[in-house]
Amino acid sequence: MTEKQGGSDVRANTTVASALGAGGAGAEYELLGHKWFCSAPMSDMFLVLAQTEEGLSCFLMPRILPDGSRNAFHIQRLKDKLGNHSNASSEIELHNAWGRMIGEPGRGVPTIIEMVGHTRLDCVIGSAAGMRAAVVAATHHAAHRSAFGRTLIDQPLMANVLADLCVESEAATALAMRLARAYDEAHADAAAGEDASDAQLFKRLATAVGKYWSCKRAPNHAYEALECLGGAGYVEESGMPASIARPRWPRSGRARAT
Ligand SMILES: Cc1cc2nc3c(=O)[nH]c(=O)nc-3n(C[C@H](O)[C@H](O)[C@H](O)COP(=O)(O)OP(=O)(O)OC[C@H]3O[C@@H](n4cnc5c(N)ncnc54)[C@H](O)[C@@H]3O)c2cc1C
């Protein structure tokens, strides 16, 4: 989706798709353009937005063509990101890459949003999982570490902090489960021919809000949990730095080589 001139505003996309035949839903096209963000570039298939005469449309683009040759999909460079290092992101160019139109012509955004919605749900689940891991580490440490004559977990102020961490973790898990239920229900409703059921409307709004909130809270939750381990929480061995999306290695190539 994302191009230099517009990430949030994907309608500003300039990548173009030219029909190899009559064109239309399910037809073959050639894609020409640049994408400023393309995560997981090692994937076998990509969903790509490109302009057609009917407007922005969605295309399924394989990395390898059916005859075994490489599609005209070129990685310009990998992004050097703040975190999220286990998921590579790249900048790519499409030099008349082969793709097949998915969904209706001009309906690219609603088509690709089906995939984006699931990715957002995954972000909510991943954030809830990270919070749960942080709570496990913090409560375990506090249950075994003694300071000033009592275990940390029995110190009133520490108990407050741990309770806050637990409540937020539980809330994030409940939100993720409730959202996942809405996905199941919305899918069943769609199969029954509905397109504006309660579950479908809830899913549409709650996915975006839930992703925003859980992802926004996850780093704050992680650093609060990290502090419960004292100095050890700041040390990579504890696992806590990784949970606030820090790379597990320094950024320089020299250090990585070691
Ligand atoms: C780790 C990572 C992986 C990514 N992977 C992919 C990928 O695989 N595929 C892909 O297509 N994209 C990917 N992206 C890109 C991401 O989708 C875009 O960065 C995002 O859509 C924002 O677009 P932008 O960077 O152009 O920012 P802009 O659209 O320029 O926005 C900049 C800021 O302005 C705010 N803003 C925008 N519009 C308004 C408005 N109307 N009112 C008020 N504020 C506004 C935004 O919220 C943001 O804070 C990835 C990004 C990251 C960080």
- Chain segment 11-55, per-residue pLDDT in tens: 899 999 999 999 999 999 999 999 999 999 999 999 999 999 999
Ligand 1 and 37: CB distance under 6 A: yes
Instruction: Determine, yes or no, domain membership for 1.
Output: no
Atom of ligand 1 nearest to the CA of 39: 8
Instruction: Determine, yes or no, domain membership for 5.
Output: no
CATH classification at residue 97: 2.40.110.20
Q: Which of 62, 85, 106 is the last residue of a domain?
A: 106
Based on the fold, state whether residues 120 and 229 are members of the same structural domain: yes
Q: Which of 72, 106, 140 is the last residue of a domain?
A: 106
Nearest CA owner, ligand 1 atom 24: 7
Q: What is the mean pLDDT of the chain?
A: 92
Ligand 1 and 41: CB distance under 6 A: no
Q: Give the integer Cα–Cα distance in Å for 63 and 38.
A: 13
Token pair listed for 239:
């696992």
pTM over 0.95: no
Based on the fold, state whether residues 124 and 251 are members of the same structural domain: yes
Based on the fold, state whether residues 79 and 131 are members of the same structural domain: no
Instruction: Determine, yes or no, domain membership for 2.
Output: no
At 34 the pLDDT is 97
Based on the fold, state whether residues 98 and 159 are members of the same structural domain: no
Instruction: Determine, yes or no, domain membership for 98.
Output: yes
Q: How far is the CA of 175 from the centre of ligand 1 (A)?
A: 24
**Ligand 1 pocket mutation, candidates 1, 4, 8, 39, criterion most atoms within 8 A of CB:** 8
Token pair listed for 123:
């972000």
Q: How far is the CA of 20 from the centre of ligand 1 (A)?
A: 32
Ligand 1 and 8: CB distance under 6 A: yes
Ligand 1 and 79: CB distance under 6 A: no
Q: How far is the CA of 65 from the centre of ligand 1 (A)?
A: 30
Which residues 6+ apart lie within 8 Å of 191 measured at CB?
Answer: none
Atom of ligand 1 nearest to the CA of 8: 29
Based on the fold, state whether residues 93 and 121 are members of the same structural domain: no
Based on the fold, state whether residues 128 and 218 are members of the same structural domain: yes
Q: Give the integer Cα–Cα distance in Å for 105 and 102.
A: 8
Based on the fold, state whether residues 76 and 192 are members of the same structural domain: no
Contact of 45 with 62, CB cutoff 8 Å: yes
Atom of ligand 1 nearest to the CA of 1: 11
Q: Which of 50, 76, 106 is the last residue of a domain?
A: 106
Based on the fold, state whether residues 94 and 117 are members of the same structural domain: no
Based on the fold, state whether residues 118 and 93 are members of the same structural domain: no
Ligand 1 and 43: CB distance under 6 A: no
| DSSP-derived secondary structure letter, 71 | P
Domain count, the chain: 2
Atom of ligand 1 nearest to the CA of 4: 26
Closest CA to 228 of 95, 149, 126, 139: 139
At 244 the pLDDT is 56
Instruction: Determine, yes or no, domain membership for 4.
Output: no
Based on the fold, state whether residues 88 and 123 are members of the same structural domain: no
Instruction: Determine, yes or no, domain membership for 3.
Output: no
Dihedral class, residue 86 (left if φ above 0, else alpha if ψ from -120 to 50, else beta): alpha
How many Cβ atoms are within 10 Å of 26's Cβ, its own excluded? 11
Which residues 6+ apart lie within 8 Å of 252 measured at CB?
Answer: none
Token pair listed for 165:
């961490």
Which residues 6+ apart lie within 8 Å of 108 measured at CB?
Answer: 49, 50, 55, 56, 57, 58
Based on the fold, state whether residues 82 and 51 are members of the same structural domain: yes
Instruction: Determine, yes or no, domain membership for 56.
Output: yes
Instruction: Determine, yes or no, domain membership for 30.
Output: yes
Based on the fold, state whether residues 130 and 203 are members of the same structural domain: yes
Ligand 1 and 2: CB distance under 6 A: yes
3-state SS, residue 103: coil
CATH classification at residue 135: 1.20.140.10
Residues of the chain with pLDDT under 50: 245, 247-258
Residue 119, domain extent: 109-257
At 83 the pLDDT is 79
Characterize 34-70 residue by residue with b for buried, 16 or more Cβ atoms within 10 angstroms of its Cβ, and e for exposed.
Answer: bbbebeebeeeebbbbbbbeeebbbbebbeeeeeeee
